[in-house]
């Protein structure tokens, strides 16, 4: 059976923690920031967890991280 390929775009954008949770960067923090509240911008700066519904797709894209 051939080797599985890692999806390089997903590898650059996602981080798998030691407990196998997947973190991603949140959207809406790149431009047009003046109208957004400080609290909102601060919370967008943190990493977010990938939802359970998307985990099967992430596991297919990153086969060697799980």
- Angle, vertex CA 63, rays to CA 9 and CA 43, nearest 5: 50
E strands, 1-66, are 14-16, 22-25, 47-49
What's the pLDDT score for residue 43? 98
Kindly report, residue by residue over 38-54, the tens digit of the pLDDT.
999 999 999 999 999 99
Do the Cβ atoms of 49 and 1 come closer than 8 Å? no
Kindly report, residue by residue over 15-40, the tens digit of the pLDDT.
999 999 999 999 999 999 999 999 99
Where are the chain's structural domains? 8-61
Mean pLDDT of the chain: 97
What's the pLDDT score for residue 58? 98
The model's pTM is 0.87
Which class would CATH give 8-61? few secondary structures
């Amino acid at each position: 059976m051939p080797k599985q390929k890692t999806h390089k775009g997903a590898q650059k954008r996602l981080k798998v923690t030691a407990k196998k949770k997947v973190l991603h960067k949140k959207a809406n923090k790149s431009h047009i920031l003046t109208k957004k509240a400080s609290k909102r911008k601060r919370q967008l700066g943190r990493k977010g967890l990938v939802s359970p519904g998307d985990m099967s797709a992430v596991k297919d894209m990153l086969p060697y991280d799980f």
